[in-house]
């Protein structure tokens, strides 16, 4: 079996914008000796080859800062009138299944992905969506991951494309761009220019009426075939959270 890691490394990166910054404190082995001494173990009873244990503390990391999966709660407190699921409430059955890559790398920055784009790709490559599949949208923008402008560039999903996927029985989908919609700064700018209150975050807001989850900041989708693999995307079980980091992997027999 060949396992492809679709998750970015969790580490400090000085070029990340402030809302994506991750800060981790790595504690050396020797620190543990003093903890054990404080807890009452005399130095003379330490094992001869004992160097202590390493430890690490995540001092700062938002649940949306790295490769993650968004829960329905992220989009709205309710979905179709019922309470939205938080990340710990997502059925694990949603998080494992047959994967499919839909290649949208030809789309220009700020040119949104439509339902017709998805349908045309599937038709051209004689591919079919089936209920429970995990759909991965490849834009090629993961090459900018870790740069200061990552969140400002790229394409993104339209509301109609998102809704169409959900209507095909897709519960989990993902993208290798910073966000699921068109870039946030672009949407803010266009909303101001057009004075259109319905323009902003339209793909996310499909979740107000139809239940689904999406992943953001995937990597390495170019290493996958279009089909013939499984995807596992199990989020950290953070009670009440809107999202969680996930180690997303593809498995190819």
C-alpha distance from residue 206 to each of 22, 80, 102, 104, 245 (Å): 29, 10, 20, 21, 22
State residue 219's pLDDT score: 98
State residue 230's pLDDT score: 98
Query: Which residues, including other chains, have CB under 8 Å from residue 210's CB and lie 6 or more apart?
Result: 79, 80, 163, 166, 167
Look over the chain and give the mean of its residue pLDDT values, rounded to a whole number: 94
Whether residue 33 has pLDDT greater than 80: no
Average pLDDT score over residue span 67-80: 97
Tokens matching residue 58? 């995540």
How many other CB atoms sit within 10 Å of the CB of residue 44? 5
Write the pLDDT tens digit of every residue in 133-176. 999 999 999 999 999 999 999 999 999 999 999 999 999 999 99
Average pLDDT score over residue span 182-208: 92
- Between 83 and 52, residue with greater pLDDT: 83
C-alpha distance from residue 177 to each of 51, 66, 121, 222, 243 (Å): 42, 11, 19, 13, 16
State residue 43's pLDDT score: 78
Q: Please check whether residue 161 is in contact with residue 118, taking contact to mean a CB–CB distance below 8 angstroms.
A: yes
pTM value is 0.94
**What DSSP letter does each residue of 152-179 carry, written as one string?**
GSS--B-HHHHHHHHHTT--EEEESSS-
Write the pLDDT tens digit of every residue in 36-57. 777 787 878 778 887 878 889 9
Residue 34, φ and ψ in degrees, nearest 5: -70, -30
The neighbouring-strand residues paired with 138 are: 103
Write the pLDDT tens digit of every residue in 89-139. 999 999 999 999 999 999 999 999 999 999 999 999 999 999 999 999 999
Domain residue ranges of the chain, discontinuous segments joined by +: 23-60, 68-252
Q: How far is CA 169 from the centre of its chain?
A: 20
Fold of 68-252: Glucose Oxidase; domain 1 (3.50.30)
């Amino acid at each position: 079996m060949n396992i492809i890691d679709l998750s970015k490394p969790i580490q400090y990166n000085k070029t990340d914008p402030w809302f994506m910054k991750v800060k981790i404190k790595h504690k050396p082995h020797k620190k543990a000796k003093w903890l054990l001494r404080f807890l009452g173990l005399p130095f003379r009873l330490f094992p001869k080859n004992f160097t202590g244990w390493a430890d690490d503390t995540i001092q700062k990391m938002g649940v949306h800062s790295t490769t993650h999966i968004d829960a329905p709660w992220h989009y709205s407190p309710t979905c179709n009138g019922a309470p939205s699921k938080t990340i710990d409430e997502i059925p694990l059955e949603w998080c494992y299944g047959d994967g499919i890559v839909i290649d949208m790398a030809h789309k220009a920055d700020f040119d949104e992905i439509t339902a017709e784009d998805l349908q045309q790709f599937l038709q051209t490559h004689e591919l079919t969506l089936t209920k429970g599949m995990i759909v991965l949208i490849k834009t090629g923008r993961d090459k900018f991951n870790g740069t200061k402008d990552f969140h400002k560039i790229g394409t993104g999903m339209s509301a109609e494309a998102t809704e169409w996927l959900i209507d095909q029985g897709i519960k989990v989908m993902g993208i290798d761009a910073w966000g699921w919609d068109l870039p946030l700064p672009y949407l803010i700018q266009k909303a101001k220019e057009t004075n259109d209150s319905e323009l902003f975050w339209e793909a996310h807001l499909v979740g107000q009426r139809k239940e689904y989850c999406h992943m953001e900041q995937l990597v390495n989708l170019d290493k996958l075939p279009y089909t013939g693999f499984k995807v596992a995307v199990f989020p950290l079980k953070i009670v009440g959270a809107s999202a969680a980091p996930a180690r997303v992997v593809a498995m190819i027999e």
